[in-house]
Each structure stands twice: as C-alpha cells, then as structure tokens.
Amino acid sequence: MGWMAEGFSSESGGHFMEQQPAFFSIIIPTYNRPQEIGACLESLSRLDYPRDRFEVFVVDDGSTPSLQPVVVCFFDQLDVTLLTQTHTCPAAARNAGAKKARGEFLAFVDDDCMPSPDWLQKLANRFDKNPDHAIGGRTLKSPSEEIYSTTSHIILDVVYAYYNGSNDQAPFFASCNLAMPADQFRSIGGFDPAFIISEDRDLCDRWLSHDFGMTYAPEALVYHNHPLTFYTFWRRYINYGRGAYRYHQARARRGTGRLRPDQNFYIGLIFNPLIPEQVQRGFWVRVLVVMSQIANTIGFFWEGFSQIKRK
C-alpha cells in the first residue's frame, strides 16, 4: 500500500525505501448549504496530515446561488476543486467526485460534518493494516441541547454498537464518515444514484457481496452538526423507511438477502440503557426513538404501495 520513495540512511551508509503517507481524495456532496460547507472546509484545513497527500472535491448538486464564493476562500489552504452538476442526489454527486479523484483512497464526508484533526491519519493507520477494506469511523453530534438531533445520533450509536461490534466484520457504515480503496469502489460501480436515501446501505451490501472486508474505526471521528425540528425529524425517518424498502428490493434482486426484522435490535434500541446517561430528558428521547421507528414503518409501506400504484 502507499507510494514508495527512495531515501538515504546516514547510519547505515546505504539506501532504504521510505513509504509515503497514503494519498486520499476527500469527497463532499453539498446542496444549498453555504454556511455548512464553509465550516466543513474550515475543519479540513486543520487536518494534521501532509497537505500534498490529500485533495478535496466539493460537488455542488445544483445549489442556487453558486457555492464558488465559499469554496474559493480555501484555495490557499487546501487542494480543493469545486465540481457542479444539475440537482440529482448525494449518490450521484459522490460518484462525480470519485470519477475525478486521483487518490489511492476515497474518503467521504457530508457538508454538515467536521472531521477531527487526526481523522485522515486514523484512517491511514487502519489502511496500513487492511488496505483492501472499507473503513468507517464514528460520527458524534456537535454540542447542542436540541433533542431531535440528539435522538438521531443515539439511534446511529445503537446501530453501530449492535451491528459493528466485531470491528473487522462490520456490515454497515454511514456515508458521512466512510473511506475505501478507490479501485474497489469503482469496480462495484460506486453509489447507486437510483437511491435518493439509503445509498450507503446499498453500497455496503454490494461491497460485502464482492467479499470485500469492512473495518470499524471508532477513533476516526467526525462531528455532525444538523439541527432538527419535530417535522424534519419525522420526515427523515419516513424517508429512511422509503429507502429501506428500495434497499431490501435491491438485495432480493441480486440475491444477497431478504427482509428479516431483528426483534432483539429493536428491543435494545427502545430500552437502550445509555439513553438516561447521555441526556437528562431520557424519557422523551425514548418516546422519539419509538416515533422514529413508527415513521420508518410508515415510510416502508408507503414506498411499497407507491411502487404498486406505479405498475
């Protein structure tokens, strides 16, 4: 793994081969979020990683007005390129960035996220051990008292704790903190733009179907800042349910699995013992967790009925 450069050892009087740090292409899809993409790029400018060993692609998915005035402010701090396309979806935007990427590894992050300064180095350390694996980091909520985004992050924490307990046999990573070898990403066709949401679940399933490994790296941290209201919280989980229906359809078509609800997961989610420790309003968080799963179920069947009507 990595690029090799010849060097000279004064102690031995001979030559040695010194491995350069892995080269990353960081890809960020964005749409109508100038403030958020600015904060994301600011965090990337503080990465503790050699500047000549990573590049950044901001893929503007049809924002109005243009995000160029925001991105150009970072030209002297980052090797950053702004790509633009007509409005489609995050999956297509990520693929557009990957198509232009020169990196040995692709690192995906969302526009409302801020990676920690050692994020790339932690990913690189994992790739040193497993250069052909997908690596998923941990996503934390930015400090806030807002209960809806708190609940959403607790749900993600429970998902990761339940399904990614064995770090080297993880089945799912969210696309807001995900890195993988560029050649393997392209070999499976990248993200499927038919998915408006749940494209990361589909990608991970196809990745595993090719017998590629996945490693969870909880030390690779990204901070997520996406305030929610009751309406946007409810709509998010409705859409997750719709995406889940398409995901299970796709799995059935390619023969990689069928829908099998995991009762133990849902019981553990609702009665998660960490909830009272994480927030003072533990009771209301549990209520919102239950509501999220109701919304998810409604979205799942809504998408199913919608597809039946379209036939």
Distance CA 16, CA 9 (A): 7
Question: Does a structural domain hold residue 247?
Answer: no
Residue 262 maps to a domain: no
Q: Is residue 224 part of a domain?
A: yes
Residue 93 lies in a domain: yes
Per-residue pLDDT of the chain in tens (311 residues, 90 and over written 9): 433 333 334 344 444 456 899 999 999 999 999 999 999 999 999 999 999 999 999 999 999 999 999 999 999 999 999 999 999 999 999 999 999 999 999 999 999 999 999 999 999 999 999 999 999 999 998 777 688 998 999 899 888 988 887 767 889 999 999 999 999 999 999 999 999 899 999 999 999 999 999 999 999 999 999 899 999 999 999 999 999 999 999 999 988 877 777 777 887 787 776 565 555 577 888 889 999 999 999 999 999 998 888 77
- Distance CA(77)–CA(238), nearest Å, equals 39
As a whole number of angstroms, the distance between CA 272 and CA 162 comes to: 11
- The Cα 214–Cα 216 span in angstroms is 7
Structure token digits, residue 160: 């990761």
In a domain, 220, yes or no: yes
CA-to-CA distance for 40 and 111, rounded, in angstroms?
6
CATH of the domain at 71: 3.90.550.10
Question: Residue 288 domain-assigned?
Answer: no
Within a domain: 303: no
Question: How many domains does the chain fold into?
Answer: 1
- Domain residue limits at 186: 21-228
- Looking at the whole model, is its pTM more than 0.85? yes
Q: Is 14 helix (H, G, I), strand (E, B) or coil?
A: strand
Q: Which residues pair with 84 in a beta bridge?
A: 60
Q: Is position 46 within any domain?
A: yes
Report the relative pairing of strands 214-224 and 113-115 from DSSP bridges. antiparallel
Contacts of 260 (CB under 8 A, 6+ apart): none
Q: How far apart are CA 130 and CA 26, in angstroms?
A: 19
